Amino acid sequence: MSTVAGAPVEEHRDDTGARMGMWLFLFTELLLFTGLFLIYAVQRYRFSSDFAYAAATLDTGIGTLNTAILLTSSLTMVLAVVALQQGKRKLSVTLMAITLGAGLAFMINKYFEWSHKFELGLYPGSEELVLRTPGEQTFYSLYYAMTGLHGIHVVIGMGVIGTMIYFTARRPRRVVRLRDVEETALENLGEAGRYAAEGQLEEVQITLFYVENEDVTERSVIRVENTGLYWHLVDVIWIFLFPLFYLIG
């Protein structure tokens, strides 16, 4: 091709494989939580009345609000994926930013919720909790362990979404195979062009400064898709945590 920005090189990618890898990872996450759900199920069976009594102290209102926030963030996340698939980069970034904000709102609610419990002296090993029944102690241990592990997942998800916003918002980059570039155009590549002329460099990544908004690098789509999968799994886990902790009182 005659220009520097010439024909983009066909990259060696396997998007289906990338998604499959993500799903396999998500199954290990499911099994991680399954272990905890298993403990919950057995202990709940042993101490059902204590669990009901202890669960009544949880704030159903905050729990319901957080459920709505997380479900809404799942919607904005999937819309961000769909927008990017359609090449709407700015819209996708905006939707991911909303998703990130929702994750933050979820964690802020969690902070107030836990702070209130700490004020009441209800945390594992507290003087107050030592006086309670074994069933109640077990309930609070599981409550902190399971919603805590879930919270860590929300924070990790927020970090990944933040990274994806950066990748999606920045100018797209293209790999150019230098032997397809005309000699005169190589000069425009500066140092890289010199190496290419000497045959030491085969391809180079360039940043596209003049791009349409619609120009989305395909690689960033699969990244955002996999980020979405992770975020939705965190949502699915909360869908089970919510009724099992907040709605049994």
Partner 1 sequence: MSSKKAALFGPYILVWLALLMLTGVTVTVAGMQLGNLSVLTAVFVATIKSTLVLHYFMHLKDESVVFKMMLGLAVFTIAAIMLLTFVDFSFR
Binding site for partner 1 (CB under 8 A): 16, 19-20, 23-24, 27, 30-31, 34, 37-38, 41-42, 45, 60, 64, 67-68, 71-72, 74-75, 77-79, 82, 86, 225, 228-229, 232-233, 235-236, 239-240, 242-244, 247-248
Q: How far is the CB of 72 from partner 1 (least distance, A)?
A: 7
Closest to partner 1 by CB, 7 vs 32, is: 32
Task: Return the number of the residue (96 or 233) whose C-beta is nearest partner 1.
Answer: 233
Residue closer to partner 1, measured from CB, 175 or 236: 236
Q: How far is the CB of 185 from partner 1 (least distance, A)?
A: 36
Contact 158, 48 (CB under 8 A): no
Name which of 75 and 211 has its Cβ closer to partner 1. 75
Q: Count the neighbouring beta carbons within 10 Å of the beta carbon of residue 3.
A: 12
| Closest to partner 1 by CB, 144 or 242 | 242
Give me 29's structure tokens.
């996450």
Residue with tokens 């298993």: 38
The H or E element spanning position 204 is strand 203-207
Residue among 100, 228, 89, 90 at smallest CA distance from 155: 100
Rounded to a whole number of angstroms, the minimum distance from the CB of residue 139 to partner 1 is: 15
Contacts within 8 Å (CB) and 24+ apart, 15-22: 15/221, 15/222, 15/225, 18/222, 18/226, 19/222, 19/225, 19/226, 19/229, 22/226, 22/229, 22/230
For partner 1, the closer of residues 10 and 31 by Cβ is 31
CB 205 within 8 A of CB 170: no
Report in angstroms how near the CB of residue 25 gets to partner 1 at its nearest: 12
Task: For the CB of residue 57, give the shortest distance to partner 1 in the complex, in Å.
Answer: 15
Angle between the N-to-C axes of helices 15-46 and 134-169, in degrees from 0 to 180, rounded to the nearest 10:
160
Tell me how far apart the alpha carbons of residues 34 and 36 are, in angstroms, rounded to a whole number.
5
Q: How far is the CB of 244 from partner 1 (least distance, A)?
A: 7
